Structure 1
Amino acid sequence: MPNRPNALAIAAKRDAKASLLKQWLLGSIVGVGALWLASEVFADGHEVIIESHGYTNFGDLKYGPNAVLDYVNPDAPKGGEFSQWAQGTFDSFNLSTRKGVPAALSTIGYESILTSTADDPYGAYCYLCETLEYPESRDWVIFNLRDDVKFWDGSTMTAKDIKFTFELYLEQGITEYRNIYSQFIESVEVLDTYSIRFNFTESAPRRDVVTWVGGTSAFSKDWFEETGTRLDESSDEPFMATGAYRLDEVDIGRQIIYRYDPNWWGADVPINQGRNNFETIRIEYFADSGAAFEGFKSGVYAFRSENSSIQWATGYDFPARDRGWVKVEELPDGSIGSGQGFVFNLNQEKFQDPLVRQAITLMVNFEWMNESLFYGLYERPESFWDNSDLKAVGLPSPEEIAILQPLVDEGLLAASILTDEATIPPASTTSERPLDRRQLRAASALLDEAGWIAGDDGMRRKDGELLEVTFLERSPQFDRIINPIVENLKRLGIAAELERVDTAQYIERRRAGAFDIVNASLGQGYEPGQQLAQFFGSEAAEDSSRNPMRLKLPAADRLIDEIAAAESLEELTIRTRALDRVLRAERFWIPQWQKGVHTVAYYDMYRFKEIPPLALSPLDNWWYDAEAAEALRAAGAFQ
């Protein structure tokens, strides 16, 4: 790299003694995978600065600088096409606005300062930077950026572009993000052409700050200013960025093709070896999964991650598979569960009574669904952290009680949270029919207690108001699942219905809160922090795409702050279990189903070395077998 002012010196002037000691530490305390400087405060108040190629709050980074990822094939051939499907339509390439319907893979070309891997749950690695520097207090962080990063137009990325992008999100980003994160940044300084410093407020959660700002994308400041593009408006093209793929062709609402940029700056970077192997990535749009499946069978596209149990169990007996053209596989999935379920709109007065929510939940017979509709392929989610140590199980531990007791003492939680087992979805006594009469009686008693009394017509009313429940949905796949629930609710005396709308209406009504019950995926990550506020925080309840249930629970707000302040993995685990327990006790979520494997089907021309534990990631590390593809083409596998 060319000579430039030392960012460390700009950040904090030190005397010669401190500099010499830092050099000695750097030479003496070299750990596997990272360069960590011991933190020490000198008599003049200066701290020794930690400098590394990556960041982790817990343990050691898995990979050292210039490492190639374990799960990739560094010699994978480049070229060929990867094709998949998407549902509905689109009219924008901007995910950061409520306006318009964003296209699939809209952010495929965006790269950030730090990057993660699919086999290191806690690590974040310098990507657009070479090193980062921060004190133990984490009052600030400096990123020393690479000097060879180029935008698609050939211009060089600098610290000014990073500063511009970060501030753009705080000014024009979605409300839930701005409301939560704007309070955590004190200032952003461009130290020189390739060095940038983020200074944090006292209230900023120290465990989150480095990876938060390290997640900043690189957008071209000049391009935004020249085009007048805004982050809060719909955009008919992706923003000028730095990634391996850029938009090549688009047929609005029907097809998108992204193409590998032959001038991509990152092709030779070690962490990119064996990745971004396809020449083009094509997305075909279909109105629904059924139509898409027919397209797959006839070779319109070549990769399908199957989310329909009936199709997985019964639909893959077709000529292309019989002839050996299509591979159907269950691949390992070690990630946390998706937390998929129905959620109530808690802004609706009728759903503010937990007895009503509990009664409706009892009418969802998962055992019957799994046997009759899902062919026994699924398990029911129990937690927002399924498949991890962060999940609350059974009675609260003494450590959890110590966290929950003050919230009980302040009247923010019922005392039962200290003595009850963690809430799990009710298990039906029958899988032979959709309606479990025992649960019907229990639900009826709950609604009676809540004041919703069945009249002579069998319908439940309170103060003259009919109890009505509407499931808002966009996919025909859910008809066979929701309709039996609707019938169960009608037997309970609830005026229930399924309302299916097109994708654009669905997204708009979900955003606006114009619904009773919708689907949501609320699963979380291995290192929860302040981002939990976007899912479960009161501050995001009125304008959040991630908190569709409009949850406003002061106890959850307090626990989220405590999780963000956790300094050890043990503290993080205990506090997260406490939050999981509290959230599940609120019963705003009716868990649906999940499976512990990836169910995929693809034409036998894609290859991979291994599936990493945290992601399937076919676009990241799979590759195209040109010889196999040509054989399929010659055999007539594709339209």
Structure 2
Amino acid sequence: MKQRLPSRRTVLKLGGAAAAAGLLPFPASLAQTGGRHGMSVFGELKYPPEFAAFDYVNQQAPKGGRMVYTAPSWAYNQNPQTFNTFNSFILKGDAPPRMELCFDTLMVRALDEPDAVYGLVAESVEKSEDENRYTFTIRPEARFHNEKPLTAEDVAFSLMTLKQDGHPLIRQTIEEMADAVALDERRVRVTFSGKQSRQLPMTIAGLPILSKDYYTRYDFTQSTLTPPVSSGPYRVGDYEVGRYIEYERVEDWWAKDLPVSRGHYNFDVLRLEFFRDRQVAFEAFKKGTMTFREEFTSKTWATEYNFPAVQDGRVKQSEFPDGRPSGAQGWFFNTRREKFSDPRVRAAIGFAFDFEWSNKNLFFDLYTRTESFFENSTMKAEGEPGPEELALLEPYRESLPEAVFGSAVQAPVSDGSGQDRNLLRKADSLFREAGLTRNGRQLILPSGEPLTIEFLSNSPSFERVVLPYINNLKLLGVTANFRLVDPSQYQARINEYDFDVVSRRYSLAPTLGESIRQFWGSKAAGTPGSNNLAGISHPAIDALIEKAIFAETRDEMEIAARALDRCLRAGYYWVPHWYKPTHTVAMWDIFGMPPEPPRYDFPVETTWWFDEEKAAAAGKAG
């Protein structure tokens, strides 16, 4: 468990006349009337109805070639280390990342806006006055890869199927969608409960559209290695289970000339390779078996890019800004287990991690310590709470730690020695306050059991980071170990919350919606497969989640997020890790790319292209 460039604003052409609106959003009054071409949470759209393409793409990008890589990110039941099913939208099985490229959606995000979506399958959308009914009009040319029309019936079927049987991260997010009904062949009406956020209609518009014909013959709830009938820009091509998969570009994709598609999906083949070991994957990249690599290991980035292809310029190292909120990366405690139920115990365990030593000796000073659940964003709480935050927090004062109302909790700063005695003494004091005692060198919980910790992982690369931490815990009397398991077992244990401590990174959207309930909401804490790994369950946190989701303005959302951040940090549900506001990328010099990436994502697979001239020079033509 993948930053700061201002989004570009270009002059918009309204009604055929050039308007000097380069720094202004598309007027909300136009964006919010019937039959609109796009939606956003707070009503502002950058692109007018007649826009040609998103600003961050090259409309003339050539088609062809291939990109070979390991997945830098994944979702739902996808697994970057192996796969055994092509059903990517349920909890069961391990699917390959990027299966979503095979499926169309009603609308797609503009990645240079915080939350705007524009029509793909839906040519327009209308909403009722009470905003509880949205009617999407389907483009008549939309079709599946088997040439059957994609109709409103398919859309309604998809939404209701995902609501009933989809992955828990989908089901719980869209539970306030009451119904989806095909009004005729081209119109589908989506009805909400009245308790939905402004973002939920956009979430619905971004869900995959399934073939009703296909899934009335095949059980959606089961894993399968039969590639599904779909309608997107790519389809499943060659593959070997657990080793690689190729997604082939659909040359006659029905939507290739739409404004939201121009300049996208340029590679003929996207090939994902699967490795259990990051170092083995790196060796494959060095040999040229893979052509793109987003590097997540600081030691490798700092010391190992010295092989011949780098020295002669065939492989390039680059850094690209990442404008998304970095979210939360850390070791998450499973507070469902009694030994982690006391926040003082959790805080004490955190004091034993010496980030400053690790950053210098293991990370080559490439990182900054993570402190916030909304790091790298204006939603991060800093200093004392302001009056607006206090107004949200005061009703829950009796149930919240006093630290919530002071300066925002920060991670401890060590002397960089690797064994900061001052921090270890503070940890020991907290253990004693929590009622732990000693039996020789072993810390004993109030229950009479020794305090033990298992750090669960599916990657051996993390061991070098965890072992020094384990040594410090040993000095405190905590018995800890690093447990490496295979990818399928790891995912199964995560889904069932069968772990002590696990590492995860979350990247959050700049506009908060129902999905954050999955991270910190009480209901998600008891739902297998949710993102609430820590098992956070607190009425104040639940209330602040709702305040953030239902904020009337972006300012109100950010205030609620900062209040929420204070509560989460004061709960010591994690030992925060580190972050950097960039993507560190190594690539064989065979790619073309737009001059400036969009602020809110890093869409390499969908907006870069294969450069034949560069590839010939690098000896990788064809």
TM-score by length of 1: 0.89
Deviation at 1:463, TM superposition (A): 3.7
Q: What's the counterpart of residue 184 of structure 2?
A: 192
CA gap of 1:425–1:239, structure 2 versus 1, over 3 A, is farther
Distance in 2, Cα, partners of 1:266 & 1:156: 13
Query: AA paired with 2:81?
Result: G
CA contact (8 A) 2:174 2:204 kept: no
Q: Deviation of residue 459 (structure 1)?
A: 4.0
The CA RMSD measured in Å over matched residues stands at: 2.1
Residue matched to 1:412 = 399
**Does structure 1 conserve the Cα–Cα contact (< 8 Å) formed by 2:200 and 2:513?**
no
Is the 8 Å Cα contact of residues 68 and 273 (structure 1) preserved in structure 2? yes
- How many Å apart are 1:176 and its aligned residue? 5.1
Residue matched to 1:620: 606
Q: Is 1:335 aligned to 2:324, yes or no? A: yes
Match of 1:517 among 501, 509, 522: 501
1:204 paired residue among 182, 191, 196: 196
Alpha-carbon distance in structure 1 between the residues aligned to 2:362 and 2:28? 54
SS of 1:259's partner is strand
Alignment map for 1:295-334 (pairs within 5 Å): 295-334=284-323
Runs of at least 5 residues in structure 1 that lack an aligned partner in the other structure: 1-25, 40-47
For the 8 Å contact 1:107–1:238, the answer to whether it is kept is no
Aligned to 1:566: 551
Residue number among 66, 77, 83 corresponding to 2:62 in the alignment:
77
Are 1:367 and 2:351 counterparts?
A: no
Bigger shift: residues 106-115 or 396-405: 106-115
> Do the aligned residues in 1 keep the contact of 2:442 with 2:450 (CA within 8 Å)?
no
Partner of 1:112: 105
Give the match for residue 123 of structure 2.
Answer: 130
Q: Does 1:229 align with 2:216?
A: no
CA drift of 1:128 comes to 1.2
Match of 2:208 in 1: 217
Matched with 1:43 is none
Aligned to 2:75: none
- Percent same amino acid at aligned positions? 36
Partner secondary structure for residue 272 of structure 1: coil
SS class of match (2:91): coil
Q: Distance in 2 between matches of 1:197 and 1:359?
A: 52
Offset at residue 59 of structure 1 (A): 5.2
Provide closer, same or farther for how the CA distance between residues 84 and 97 of structure 1 changes in structure 2, counting only shifts above 3 A: same
3-state SS in 2 of match to 1:290: helix
The corresponding residue for 1:3 is: none
Offset of residue 136 of structure 1: 4.3
Q: Indicate which of 534, 557, 568 corresponds to 1:549.
A: 534
Q: Decide whether aligned partners of structure 1 residues 128 and 393 sit closer, same or farther in structure 2, where only a CA change above 3 A counts.
A: same
Deviation for aligned residue 1:614: 1.4
Alignment of structure 1 residues 255-294 onto 2, 5 Å: 255-294=244-283
Equivalent of 1:148, from 138, 141, 147? 141
Q: Distance in 1 between matches of 2:67 and 2:260?
A: 21
Amino acid at match of 1:578: A
User: How many residues get paired?
Assistant: 592
Q: CA deviation at 1:210?
A: 2.0
Q: Paired residue for 2:7? A: none
Once residues 363 and 416 of structure 1 are traced to their aligned partners in structure 2, the CA distance between those partners, rounded to angstroms, is 20
Judge conservation of contact 2:38–2:45 (CA < 8 Å) in 1. yes
How many angstroms apart in 2 are the aligned matches of 1:461 and 1:539? 28
- Does the 8 A contact of 1:380 with 1:591 survive in 2? yes
SS in 2 for 1:324: coil
**Cα distance change on mapping 1:167 and 1:553 into 2, 3 Å:** same
Distance 1:177 1:612 in 2: 26
What is the CA–CA distance in structure 2 between the aligned matches of 1:470 and 1:435, rounded to whole Å?
21
For 1:228-247, list aligned pairs within 5 A: 228-230=218-220, 232-247=221-236
Counterpart code for 1:188: A
CA pair 212-105 structure 1, distance change in 2 beyond 3 A: closer
The structural deviation recorded for 1:474 is 1.1
Hey, what's the Cα distance between the residues in 2 that align with 1:169 and 1:271? 24
Kept in 1, the 8 Å contact 2:154–2:209? The answer is yes
- TM (norm. structure 2) is 0.91
Distance of 2:67 and 2:608 partners within structure 1: 9
Question: Distance between the aligned counterparts of 1:81 and 1:421, measured in 2?
Answer: 51
For 2:495, give the aligned amino acid. Answer: R
Q: Given the superposition, is the C-alpha separation of residues 101 and 470 from structure 1 closer, same or farther in structure 2, using an over 3 Å criterion?
A: same
Q: In the TM superposition, what whole-angstrom CA distance separates every residue of 1:103-147 from its partner, at most 9, and x where no partner exists? A: 122222122111102211131112211111113421211111111
Counterpart code for 1:293: F
Aligned to 1:161: 154
Q: 1:179 to 1:596 in 2, by over 3 A?
A: closer
Which residue number in structure 2 is paired with residue 488 of structure 1?
A: 472
Distance 1:395 1:36, change over 3 A: closer
* Bigger CA radius of gyration: 1
User: Structure 1 residues 35 and 405, CA, compared in 2 at 3 Å: closer, same or farther?
Assistant: closer
Which of 598, 601, 621 is matched with 2:586 structurally? 601
Quickly say closer, same or farther: Cα 1:315–1:180, change in 2 above 3 A: closer
Asked if the contact 2:160–2:179 (Cα under 8 Å) also holds between the matched residues in 1, the reply is: no
